[in-house]
Structure 1
Amino acid sequence: MTRLLALLGSINVGGNRIKMAELKTTLEESGFRDVVTVAASGNVILTDDRDPAMLEIRLESLVQDRFGFQSCAMVRTADEVRAAIEENPFHGTGPQHGSDKMVHSIFLSQQPDTSAVDSLIAEHADKGSERLALGDRVLFLDYVHGVGVSDLSNKVLERRLKVKGTARNMNSLKNILAKMD
């Protein structure tokens, strides 16, 4: 059995309220094992050996059926979570790196077209101070001055890149990874 992280998007934002205890119970009643929620933003650690793509579909369906709204689910291994931290070029120390609160890894449903990412980066270069880079099914983004003042919302990124995504900052990812290990 493999320890996995399920990142559920749109949880406890925009009126999509779920109590983590209720989410945990729903998942356990649906056959998921060793379920642990981390924070109140749709981070679920669980044990399973099914195909991650099938788990994502199952989790999205469960949220829709039980809680009545659409959520995207991204399932990743501990190694993939670690890579989303370590490979993020904006995370670390030094003047070229951002704060752990502002630097995000946006987990994507699939690898976006490189030309779409390049186009987004080029177009945004003169519009804001945010920095973007592409990884393996993850978009790295340093919001510099905060998510709330950025034009690069999740909806904009999904529309431009034609993939679903859900973001977590470095503080959250480090906390989650510690609980996975």
Structure 2
Amino acid sequence: MARLLALLGSINIGGNRVKMVDLKAAFAEEGFKELVTVAASGNLILSDERDPVYIEKQLERVLADRFKFNSCVMVRTKEQVQTAVDDNPFHGTGPEHGSDKMVHSIFLSQQPDQARFDALLEEHSTKGSERLALGDRVLYLDYVHGVGVSDLSSKFLERRLGCKGTARNMNSLKNIISKMA
């Protein structure tokens, strides 16, 4: 069976509180196998052969039914997660790269239209110091001075790009990848 990562958006923020042990138990009851949670922010490693889009919808349904909140879920393979780290142009060593805490890969529900991304870049060019780049169903973002002081909230990005997303910083992604081995 394939090892997959389910990235659950908005877990343990904004009032969507759930213990990882409860989350794991609920998904196990739904037939998901070999579940491992990583941190308390909605990272779930699982084994499954079904279509990732089907898995996303099933996990979203369980969150709504059992925990009474809506969340977007993105399912990716280990290789896709590794690519989201390796291809992030703001991650690496040297003065031109951001810190692993500030550099994020935002996993997107679909590939945004290039024109929408270009409009986002244009609109934001005079507003903040954050750096953005677009990958394959991933938005790369260096928050530079921190997420809390940025105008680039998840809701703002969703409206501008026309798709949902859930972000993880480089520290989290490296930890997740090590657990997926």
Q: Same-fold call, TM > 0.5?
A: yes
Number of residue pairs matched by the alignment: 181
For 2:79 and 2:111, how far apart are their aligned partners in 1?
A: 17
Q: How does 1:46-61 map to 2 (within 5 A)?
A: 46-61=46-61
Deviation at 1:44, TM superposition (A): 0.1
For 2:123 and 2:44, how far apart are their aligned partners in 1?
A: 35
For 2:114 and 2:47, how far apart are their aligned partners in 1?
A: 33
Query: Residue type of the partner of 1:102?
Result: M
The aligned residue for residue 128 of structure 2 is 128
For 2:161 and 2:52, how far apart are their aligned partners in 1?
A: 22
The aligned residue for residue 176 of structure 1 is 176
For 2:12 and 2:160, how far apart are their aligned partners in 1?
A: 24
Q: Please give the secondary structure, in 1, of the residue aligned with 2:88.
A: coil
Q: How does 1:56-95 map to 2 (within 5 A)?
A: 56-95=56-95
The aligned residue for residue 143 of structure 1 is 143
- Give the TM-score normalised by the residue count of structure 2: 0.99
Identity across matched positions, percent:
70
Deviation at 1:84, TM superposition (A): 0.3
Deviation at 1:32, TM superposition (A): 0.3
Q: Find out whether 1:108 has 2:121 as its counterpart.
A: no
Offset from partner CA, 1:31-78 (integer Å, 9 cap, x none): 000000000000000000000011101110000000000000000000
For 2:85 and 2:5, how far apart are their aligned partners in 1?
A: 14
Superposed CA RMSD: 0.4
For 2:15 and 2:7, how far apart are their aligned partners in 1?
A: 18
Query: Residue type of the partner of 2:11?
Result: I
Q: Find out whether 1:19 has 2:23 as its counterpart.
A: no
Any stretches of 5+ residues in structure 1 without a counterpart?
none
Moved beyond 6 Å, runs of 4+: none
Q: How does 1:24-39 map to 2 (within 5 A)?
A: 24-39=24-39
For 2:171 and 2:122, how far apart are their aligned partners in 1?
A: 28
Q: Please give the secondary structure, in 1, of the residue aligned with 2:34.
A: strand
Query: Residue type of the partner of 1:3?
Result: R
Q: Find out whether 1:167 has 2:167 as its counterpart.
A: yes
Offset from partner CA, 1:96-154 (integer Å, 9 cap, x none): 10000000000000000011001101111111000000000000000000000000000
Deviation at 1:95, TM superposition (A): 1.1
For 1:54 and 1:25, how far apart are their aligned partners in 2?
A: 19
Q: Please give the secondary structure, in 2, of the residue aligned with 1:97.
A: coil
- Give the TM-score normalised by the residue count of structure 1: 0.99
Query: Residue type of the partner of 2:96?
Result: Q
Any stretches of 5+ residues in structure 2 without a counterpart?
none
For 2:102 and 2:115, how far apart are their aligned partners in 1?
A: 25
